[in-house]
Amino acid sequence: MASTQAKKTKTPPRMPYLDFLGELHTRLRPRTYLEIGVRNGDSLARSRPQSRSVGIDPEFLVKAPLRGTVSLERTTSDDYFARPDATDWLGGEIELAFIDGMHLFEFALRDFINVEKHCTWSSVIVFDDMFPRTVDEAARDRHTSAWTGDVFHMQDVLRTYRPDLTVLVADTHPTGLLLVTGLDPSSTVLDAAYDEIVARYVKDDPQDVPDDVLRRVGALDPVKLLRSPLWGCLHRGHLPFHPRDKGLEEITEALERPDDYRRRRRALRERVQREARGIARRAKVRAPAKRPG
């Protein structure tokens, strides 16, 4: 007798955001990492031993074992970036950043504006807490143990005011991540529109969280996202003489036509190897023969 009961399909658990961050470090191999909001150090502990990392938090209490060269700054992100020598210690641009400090929209917006100024086009800025699970969790006035606040607005703001950026959302556990690349450290768009944006987005509780946000519409499968050739493209973007306009074309190709991108990269690699073999062969022919004895 055929069962009338529909077969229950088990949805696999979502990838934890810390695992995703760890994989991102592995793929991007950033020389420098900046984190806003450290708390116990669980996310900072995902940076690679080869990276130079800075963690900013007025109240950190690090328990996780940290790796590599790490500077812990007991201050707010606003005060940190107010210093004229803010990122000097890193010794170069920020290649990867994680914004997970104060969960109020205007703080996250300022953090993005400040961090982007110290990036290159191929840097990646990640935000936590893009998908509150309830309206209560999204409240500006915290009254739940897990709290995203209203930072979910960042997705809409970046897509609206900065269409030049590449904005991706990952469906991680518990509350999703927002990843931004194709950055422009010279952009003043958000700075100039700051008051207008805050007036438009900051609202009293209860927050009006769009249904699309609660249902995570447009969120990408983290496992598939990590397999993208985008990360290799961004890693190579840190090599010298790699301008942003060319980089943006590569980002688009890596995301929209990944097979074409991989084929083109493979052909380029093979051509370089062929040329290197040719140079080595010619050098050998030209080398003076050794005299016997």
Ligand X SMILES: C[S@@+](CC[C@H](N)C(=O)[O-])C[C@H]1O[C@@H](n2cnc3c(N)ncnc32)[C@H](O)[C@@H]1O
Binding interface with ligand X (CB under 6 A): 36-40, 42-43, 56-59, 76-77, 100-102, 107
> Helices 153-161 and 105-116 sit at what angle, rounded to 10 degrees?
50
Looking at the Cβ atoms of 180 and 251, the one nearer to ligand X is 180
Q: State the nearest-atom distance from the C-beta of 26 to ligand X, in Å.
A: 17
Q: Is-cis flag, bond preceding 174, omega within 30?
A: yes
Looking at the Cβ atoms of 16 and 91, the one nearer to ligand X is 16
Give the separation between CA 4 and CA 271, rounded to whole angstroms.
60
Which DSSP string corresponds to 229-289? THHHHHHHHTSSS--HHHHHHHHHHHHH-HHHHHHHHHHHHHHHHHHHHHHHHHHHHHSPP
Q: State the nearest-atom distance from the C-beta of 121 to ligand X, in Å.
A: 25
Looking at the Cβ atoms of 121 and 127, the one nearer to ligand X is 127
Cβ 111 vs Cβ 99: under 8 Å: yes
Q: State the nearest-atom distance from the C-beta of 157 to ligand X, in Å.
A: 19
Looking at the Cβ atoms of 37 and 132, the one nearer to ligand X is 37
Looking at the Cβ atoms of 28 and 36, the one nearer to ligand X is 36
Say which residue the tokens 């438009």 belong to: 200
Q: State the nearest-atom distance from the C-beta of 189 to ligand X, in Å.
A: 23
Q: State the nearest-atom distance from the C-beta of 122 to ligand X, in Å.
A: 23
Cα–Cα distance list, 193 to 108, 150, 163, 197, 202 (Å)? 15, 19, 14, 6, 14
